[in-house]
Amino acid sequence: MITLDQSRTLIAATRDRGRAMGLNPLTVVVLDAGGHLVAMEREDGSGYGRPDIAAGKAAGALAMGVSSRKLGDIAAERPQFIAALSATWQGRLIPAAGGVLVRDAAGALLGAVGVSGDLSDKDEEAAFAGIAAAGLQAG
Residues 81-129 pLDDT 10s: 999 998 998 888 999 999 999 999 999 999 999 999 999 999 999 999 9
Please report the pLDDT score of residue 47 as a whole number: 94
Whether the Cβ atoms of residue 59 and residue 31 lie closer than 8 Å to each other: yes
Average of per-residue pLDDT across 70-80: 95
Please report the pLDDT score of residue 126 as a whole number: 98
pLDDT at 6 over 90: yes
Evaluate if pTM is beyond 0.85: yes
Whether the Cβ atoms of residue 113 and residue 132 lie closer than 8 Å to each other: no
pLDDT tens digits for range 48-69: 999 999 999 999 999 999 999 9
Reported confidence tier of residue 22, pLDDT bands at 50, 70, 90: very high
Please report the pLDDT score of residue 91 as a whole number: 81
Q: How many angstroms separate the CA atoms of 3 and 32, rounded?
A: 8
Average of per-residue pLDDT across 41-54: 97
Q: Which SS3 state, helix, strand or coil, does residue 91 take?
A: coil
Reported confidence tier of residue 132, pLDDT bands at 50, 70, 90: very high
Q: How many angstroms separate the CA atoms of 100 and 123, rounded?
A: 10
Taking alpha carbons only, the member of 3, 19, 38 closest to residue 122 is 19
Please report the pLDDT score of residue 32 as a whole number: 98
- CA torsion through residues 45, 35, 30, 58, sign: negative
